[in-house]
């Protein structure tokens, strides 16, 4: 089969770190499923893998791609509830479902997580295997290819908005990095709950999308002296909740200044940067700075429900489609912020 194989950054970004190669079709082990990939989403997390030496949990060579959708091609032994031809999503992070954290309902923090496209080969290929526990039937009512973004962008946003931020009607919510796919999905979900949404981002055309998807106000980071002062002005003193999907230390620090006393700051974006936060501010203003990682598999019915109900519309978020051979160019476009969310069709 054709696969996009990453051989390590080696200082080569933004050259061509990924090559298209012929590799054997993987064989599903006991309890695993072989899926014929229909599409796989491009994610900013991969940019960290592409740029930072040693960032992938499985050392290169590795096939990236952790946002797949497709059809079941073959099932390994001990897989009963899935059949060949069935349309399925594959979870980004597949928990063991046996450890203490999994049994406590925090399976997104499982230490034995299987990460398709990070600690084993992923879905920028014609076929991919995954443990059956993370293979989720996709309702016929949803489009096949665009639904790729459900298991990362949509589900990760769900965990941040519903479980960590616990947004409720009437809250004022500032969303940093609202000019990417994840940020725009957070805008859609938060607005649907009945919160007042302030979308903060770099690119004006994407912020216009945020307005279309339910934001009340937008702040373009290039057009204000201070983002936190702009948020405070709009909210008369500070947002109830700030959600950062950018992973930028500068933005998270800004969010900590722009959130009201007793408010919550949710960190969803991923990077290796360090943030500075004064002990005084944290203690005196009782700030709640919370991380938000992946999502719980047990939330998947509710997540798919939000897409079925039209609260989140993947076809509006997927702005670009690429062939496997175009993957290097696709990542460069993602790095330059030129897409909402892109998918690769192998
Ligand atoms: Zn991702
Ligand atoms: Zn576990």
Residue 225: which CATH number?
3.40.50.720
CA of 136 to the centre of ligand 2 (A): 18
Query: Does residue 171 share a domain with residue 144?
Result: no
Query: Does residue 232 share a domain with residue 137?
Result: no
Query: Does residue 99 share a domain with residue 54?
Result: yes
- The confidence score (pLDDT) of residue 322 equals 98
Query: Does residue 225 share a domain with residue 110?
Result: no
- The confidence score (pLDDT) of residue 280 equals 94
Which ligand has an atom closest to residue 122 CA? 1
- The confidence score (pLDDT) of residue 17 equals 81
- For the chain, state the CA radius of gyration: 20
Query: Does residue 193 share a domain with residue 65?
Result: no
Query: Does residue 262 share a domain with residue 193?
Result: yes
Per-residue pLDDT tens digits for 108-122: 999 999 999 999 999
Query: Does residue 66 share a domain with residue 192?
Result: no
Query: Does residue 284 share a domain with residue 304?
Result: no
CA of 94 to the centre of ligand 2 (A): 9
Query: Does residue 29 share a domain with residue 128?
Result: yes
- The confidence score (pLDDT) of residue 13 equals 67
- 1, containing H or E segment: none
Per-residue pLDDT tens digits for 145-195: 999 999 999 999 999 999 999 999 999 999 999 978 899 999 999 999 999
Residue 159 lies in a domain: no
Q: What is the pTM of this model?
A: 0.93
Which residues form the domain of 93?
2-154+295-345
CA of 279 to the centre of ligand 1 (A): 32
Residue 160 lies in a domain: no
Query: Does residue 198 share a domain with residue 175?
Result: yes
Q: Are 114 and 131 in contact (CB under 8 A)?
A: yes
Please provide the average confidence, as pLDDT, over all residues in the chain.
95
- 339, containing H or E segment: none
**CATH number where 23 lies:** 3.90.180.10
CA of 235 to the centre of ligand 1 (A): 31
Query: Does residue 200 share a domain with residue 105?
Result: no
CA of 102 to the centre of ligand 2 (A): 4
Asked whether residue 14 carries a pLDDT value surpassing 70, the answer given is no
CA of 105 to the centre of ligand 2 (A): 10
Rounded average pLDDT over 217-240: 96
Which ligand has an atom closest to residue 67 CA? 1
The span from the CA of 85 to the CA of 36, in Å, is 9
Residue 56 lies in a domain: yes
Residue 161 lies in a domain: no
Residue 98 lies in a domain: yes
User: ∠ CA(16), CA(148), CA(63), 5° rounding?
Assistant: 35
Residue 15 lies in a domain: yes
* Residue 258, C-beta contacts closer than 8 angstroms, at least 6 positions apart: 174, 227, 228, 231, 232, 235, 238, 239, 242
- The confidence score (pLDDT) of residue 12 equals 64
Query: Does residue 226 share a domain with residue 129?
Result: no
- The confidence score (pLDDT) of residue 327 equals 96
């Amino acid at each position: 089969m054709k696969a996009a194989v990453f051989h390590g950054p080696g200082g080569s970004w933004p050259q061509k770190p990924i090559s298209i190669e012929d590799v054997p079709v993987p064989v599903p082990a006991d309890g695993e499923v072989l899926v014929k990939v229909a599409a796989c989403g491009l994610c900013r997390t991969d940019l960290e893998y592409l740029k930072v030496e040693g960032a992938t949990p499985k050392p290169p060579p590795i096939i990236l791609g952790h946002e797949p959708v497709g059809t079941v091609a073959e099932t390994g032994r001990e897989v009963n509830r899935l059949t060949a031809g069935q349309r399925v999503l594959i979870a980004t992070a597949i928990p063991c479902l046996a450890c203490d954290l999994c049994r406590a309902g925090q399976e997104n923090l499982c230490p034995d997580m299987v990460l398709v496209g990070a600690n084993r080969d992923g879905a920028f290929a014609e076929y991919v295997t995954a443990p059956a526990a993370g293979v989720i039937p996709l309702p016929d009512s949803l489009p096949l290819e665009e639904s790729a973004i459900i298991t990362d962008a949509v589900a990760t946003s769900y965990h941040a908005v519903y479980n960590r931020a616990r947004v409720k009607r009437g809250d004022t919510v500032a969303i940093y990095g609202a000019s990417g796919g994840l940020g725009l999905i957070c805008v859609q979900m938060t607005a649907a709950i009945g919160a007042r949404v302030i979308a903060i981002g770099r690119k004006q055309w994407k912020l216009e999308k945020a307005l279309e998807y339910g934001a009340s106000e937008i702040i373009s980071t290039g057009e204000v002296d201070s983002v936190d002062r702009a948020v405070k002005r709009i909210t008369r003193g500070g947002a109830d909740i700030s959600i950062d999907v950018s992973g930028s230390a500068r933005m998270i620090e800004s969010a900590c200044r722009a959130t009201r006393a007793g408010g919550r700051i949710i960190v969803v974006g991923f990077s290796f940067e360090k943030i500075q936060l004064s002990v005084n501010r944290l203690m005196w203003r009782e700030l709640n700075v919370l991380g938000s990682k992946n999502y719980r598999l047990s939330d998947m019915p509710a997540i798919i429900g939000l897409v079925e109900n039209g609260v989140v519309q993947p076809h509006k978020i997927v702005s670009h489609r690429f062939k496997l051979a175009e993957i290097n160019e696709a990542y460069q476009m993602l790095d330059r912020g030129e897409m909402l969310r892109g998918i690769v069709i192998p």
